[in-house]
Amino acid sequence: MSNSPFKAGELLSQIEIPKDLREKFDVEQLPEVCDELRDFIIDVVSQKGGHFGASLGVVELTVALHYAFNTPEDRLVWDVGHQAYGHKILTGRRVNFHTNRKYKGISGFPKIKESAYDTFGVGHSSTSISAALGMAVASASKGDHDRQHVAVIGDGAMTAGLAFEGLNHAGVEKSNLLVVLNDNCMSIDPNVGALKDYLTDITTSHTYNKVKDEVWHLLGKMSKFGPSAREIVQKVEQSIKSTLLKDSNLFESLNFRYFGPIDGHDVIHLTKVLEDLRDIPGPKILHCVTQKGKGYAPAEAGSPTKWHAPGIFNKDTGEIIKVSPNSPQPPKYQDVFGHTIVELAEKNPKIMGVTPAMPSGSSLNIMMKAMPDRAFDVGIAEQHAVTFSAGLATQGMIPYCNIYSSFMQRAYDQVIHDVAIQELPVVFCLDRAGVAGADGPTHHGAYDIAFMRCIPNLVVSAPMNEEELRNLMYTAQLEEVKLPFVIRYPRGEGVMPEWKTPMKKVKIGTGRKVISGSDVAILTIGHIGNEAVSAVQTLKKKGISAAVYDLRFVKPLDEVLLHEVFGKFDHIITVEDGCIQGGMGSAVLEFMADHGYNAKVQRLGMPDRVVEHGSQPELWAECGYDAEAISVAAEKLVSKQSDSHAGMAG
């Protein structure tokens, strides 16, 4: 039945759904199933790309969970979803797995609409405990006390406030909830903070673990001795933890039964433990120690950050395959940010860098290496990152808070309450603004223009190229700029191979005319303006003269420029790589209405629907604002104008 170009092993090929795993194989066969599942992931990801290390690290855990629990009747909730490739393969998507993260293919993250086994859609971290608790409470309210609810969360995701909020609530409920803590000391970059140190202390306490084995043995016999034995075991455990770890267990202080740490790569033992825990009521946490990249030697020996999503690689040698261009290529915007902030900080001692767990993704790691005392990875904690930055600003510092656009959604209140209202000069660098490519809707930076431009005291800008990014970063730290300053820019490369230009001040609230024209005006904001420039060349061949204006700022708007545009053009197109509802085009329409102009304005941008995954060019085309779509829209506007004039003449 398979049309997949990738062949599964003898056992894996018999598994279409987890029921097959449970019914066709004995526990002793699970290690071989794991080997075949790991090989299949390596085969596909090495040729097709995708998230890699995280999924290899939970192969045994994935198999054990689907074997021990009656999924999908029992609810399994994955946190973030980077690690869910094995889950997808075991739940009916093996044949289509090669389309993972490809345009019109399956999603790289669990997704409710894709499978009944994906009980909750994810992509951002730390949601699993709250979601699974909600499911558990709902089951209890319906009288369904046998259904199990499992949240699988990494130690990186556990650092976020939402995870602790979920734990705190779950501790006072008596719901069937198991939290599996997948502890590998990593999120994408190495984890930071006190919780990481705490988990390491638990994991490496040899005395505690030796005695703990005896507790496990006793726990396995518990059913033979009735309910009183459960109380005895619990008291024994608490005594061991308090004495040998020298303080109370963090999780048990939240009313969770804590079990572990155990080897997350021993699938047979892991399965038996999960089966035991299935019979223990109430909130429980199982601490599993795993290794990212497990079972693939180059990933085990190499950098976990490098092997998080390595791209295409030679599975036999571990060599990551990169195409060598014939000419100099533009840099990634994130790298322009990373090098430029160091350049600025060398001259301005007030500048500091802040990022919530994305030093590599944002390239703040360049500053962290050059100036470790002035650059901070605060963990998966966007709210804290913003308020921490606000605190720095109150003391005269100039924090550059680099957060992915979609992650900034999690810290919106802090932007308003802690920064904007107090007029603190925090610089927000929003990476991954616009469509984010293969990561899909959870990672598209669709909404930041709309949700930022409505906040008082905020400057909101977007560079069209690398030079403009450097100039905006330079401007934001100048003494006379005393307001919070947003700079949004996309994932991927810019357009200037020779990008390291001298930095100069940009007058806040000013745009620029990029190309002169007479038939139609195209107003753009940010990198997508380069698509408009390409469209102009196509239109020129068709005899249409189009002007391009780079607004550069959506707040404050360049009203002088807009008066010029509305005074000269009857037909105007706005183009933005962001949601069309409330975005830059809406701001232009507001200006037109406020000043009594009456032009025909067509807005191009992300439509009012969830945009799925694909490459950026594929999604620009789908959403109707790539170069071709812009030229088509302009041609239609001009032809309508011509038809109108012809009708009047007739």
Q: Which parts of the chain have pLDDT scores under 70?
A: 1-2, 186-249, 641-650
Per-position DSSP letters for 186-250, written without gaps between them: BSSSBP-SHHHHHHHHHHT-HHHHHHHHHHHHHHHTGGGT-HHHHHHHHHHHHHHHHHHSSS--T
| Residue 97: closest CA among 50, 36, 161, 154 | 50
In terms of Cβ atoms closer than 10 Å to its own Cβ (0-12, 13-18, 19+), residue 23 is: exposed
**Residues with catalytic annotation?**
292, 382, 410
392: which residues sit within 8 A by CB, 6+ positions away? 352, 354, 399, 426
* Alpha-carbon gap, residue 9 to 32, rounded angstroms: 9
* Alpha-carbon gap, residue 63 to 37, rounded angstroms: 9
Q: What are phi and psi of 604, to 5 degrees?
A: -120, 135
Residue 458 tokens read as: 């905020």
Domain with CATH 3.40.50.970 in the chain: 12-205+245-301, 333-488
pLDDT of residue 241: 52
Please name every residue paired with 286 in a beta bridge, in sequence order, or none if there are none: 180, 259
pLDDT of residue 639: 85
* Torsion angle defined by CA atoms of residues 516, 492, 367 and 55, in that order, rounded to the nearest 10 degrees: 160
| Domain range 12-205+245-301, CATH architecture | 3-Layer(aba) Sandwich (3.40)
Domain with CATH 3.40.50.920 in the chain: 512-649
* Alpha-carbon gap, residue 579 to 589, rounded angstroms: 15
Q: Which 3 state secondary structure label does DSSP give 578? A: strand
pLDDT of residue 484: 98
The DSSP output letter for 410 is: G
CATH topology of domain 512-649: Rossmann fold (3.40.50)
Please name every residue paired with 288 in a beta bridge, in sequence order, or none if there are none: 182, 262
Q: What is the CATH number of domain 333-488?
A: 3.40.50.970
Sheet of strand 520-525: strand arrangement = 512-515, 546-550, 520-525, 571-579, 600-606
Distance (Å) of CA 219 to CA 229, 238, 276, 287, 557:
9, 14, 8, 16, 67
